[in-house]
A and B are shown apart, each in its own frame.
Chain A
């Protein structure tokens, strides 16, 4: 099954979860998502998601100068972002519960 299709639906949630755990800049978020097991996550998708969440008022940003290389724009979750994360987490849980139930029925029948 193509995980990129699955990712599309949950990238907001994944990005919010990663950033709410710790503030991060764009490429740092990409790396942390991949380290968490979402290997197929696209760089452009993460960038676009961050910008959309930011312009939608769910993230704030601040610039941290870096000694080597360009300055980095860090993103942080604000109250609106936390509310969205909580709501999306709820949706995700009920969705996966339903899927789990469905799949365990399938397995049961297959066994």
Chain B
């Protein structure tokens, strides 16, 4: 019963909200979402308080939207439509962007991300200020390679990091001031905001390009993880034991293996509860690690017994073996 009432209230809120949203269709997606992102939650609060349907308490959705527009400082619906720049909103790319944005806002997770975006704005103001200085330093270095160039984390300006640091402090401050004003004012401030953002994006592209350059021409800087460095490997697989055979295919015992410089070749000892290598020592109690095959005892998990591991089969190539 209670569920039905709550469901009906939710329906009512959704219907009212979508009617209000319809009156904001002329706004660009991000601006509309910034304005209306709390609308449903807000209406749900109103609906939660007893007393008649929403349209009775708040008036018709169209009137509600008009009041909202006025108080948010927007021109009345329709007045905005044919302004300069409206052609930009009608381009194919802009329409696709709008569709994407609408799809994202329709999904709860998308809404959560979109609600979070405004919180990121101050961070973006700081970052773009920093990037703008880096971009300027790169631009200068294009004119004269002795001045500037990419340097991290402190940019070089006219060949000086001190100057770079000063510039970062100044531009970041300016960027934040512009950012805070830009949300309410237009004109020059908006131009400054756009300019800074373009600079910052250019810088990000430049960074990406130089990374690609590094990857392409300086492969020695590329490190690859090759696993633990000790032990014995063939084709990347660890070798835990070696079974030598003679020319007739007879397994050999007690064979010592060394590398090309006489150093003992020691197989990888698995840290494995099922396979237990038997340690060997010589008369001086020094470990003998390169005598093969090593005696390894295997644990049978079913019985708990350990027994010598199997000797692999090997069929030597038909002899005689010679250089071709």
Interface residues of A (CB under 8 A from B): 8, 11, 25-28, 42-49, 51-52, 54-57, 63, 69-73, 80
Contacts and interface: CB of A to CB of B under 8 A. Distances in A.
A32 to B, nearest CB: 13
Contact of A26 (B38, B58, B65, B72): B38
B139 interface: no
Contacts of B38: 26, 47, 51, 73
Given A51-B72, A52-B73, A80-B180, 11 more contacts: A11-B71, A27-B42, A27-B49, A43-B46, A44-B65, A45-B71, A48-B35, A56-B184, A63-B115, A69-B44, A70-B45
Contact of A44 (B58, B118, B183, B184): B58
A25 B43 CA distance: 12
A49 B45 contact: no
Interface in B142-197: 180, 183-184
A79 B289 CA distance: 72
A71 B70 contact: no
Nearest to B112: A63
Interface of B: 34-35, 38-42, 44-46, 48-49, 58, 64-65, 67-73, 115, 118, 180, 183-184
A44 B180 contact: no
B71 A55 contact: no
B71 A27 contact: no
A51 B180 contact: no
A51 B41 contact: no
Contact of B70 (A8, A55, A73): A8
A44 B73 contact: no
26 contacts: A8-B71, A26-B42, A27-B46, A42-B67, A42-B71, A43-B64, A44-B58, A44-B67, A45-B67, A45-B71, A47-B68, A47-B71, A48-B35, A48-B73, A49-B72, A51-B34, A51-B35, A51-B72, A52-B71, A52-B72, A55-B35, A57-B180, A57-B183, A63-B115, A69-B44, A80-B180
B68 A48 contact: yes
Contacts of A54: 118
A70 B41 contact: yes
Contact of B69 (A42, A48, A55, A73): A48
Nearest to A52: B72
A67 to B, nearest CB: 13
B108 to A, nearest CB: 12
Contacts of B42: 26-27, 47
Contacts of A80: 180
Nearest to A43: B58
Contacts of A44: 58, 64-65, 67-68, 71
Contacts of A28: 45
Contacts of B49: 27
B183 A56 contact: yes
Contacts of A57: 180, 183-184
Contacts of B67: 42, 44-45, 48
A43 B17 CA distance: 13
Contacts of A48: 35, 67-73
List the 8 closest A-B pairs by CB distance, nearest first: A48-B71, A27-B45, A48-B72, A44-B67, A45-B71, A44-B68, A56-B184, A48-B68
